[in-house]
Amino acid sequence: DMDNFKYINDSLGHKKGDEVLQISAKLLKDSLRANDFIARYGGDEFCIVLDIADKSDLEVLVCRTNNCIEKYNSTSSNPYKLEFSMGYAIYDYKSHKSAEEFLKLIDMLMYENKQANKNKLTICAPTNPVN
């Protein structure tokens, strides 16, 4: 979920908002592997499906995404800063959760991350890419 996207749309206009969505999608895609799937899920939300079974591999990818966004922000002259809140987990086949139940879990985790982002800054160390 893009943080403060409404502010960008309201203050800079919907054309700029559309550009920000395109930039965000490109940054997310650039952080992923060739076989990962990304789609716009809602107004300012993206859904990414990964073939990852190990939590540490997932955390590497999340940090790589955060680093890519931070690099963009540090080099951009735009009057806004891109920020994302992410919910993520490894699906446990033994849980027998439906896709809808798993998405609800991811959504809950995203809102927890959004609240944490408001309270503190999370820094990820540069990492090696997941193959």
Residues annotated catalytic, as ranges? 44
Beta bridge partners of 2: 84
Q: Which H or E run contains 20? A: helix 14-31
What residues have CB less than 8 Å from 41, skipping those under 6 apart?
A: 47
DSSP string, 102-130: HHHHHHHHHHHHHHHHHH--------PPP
Helix (H) or strand (E) holding 45: strand 45-49
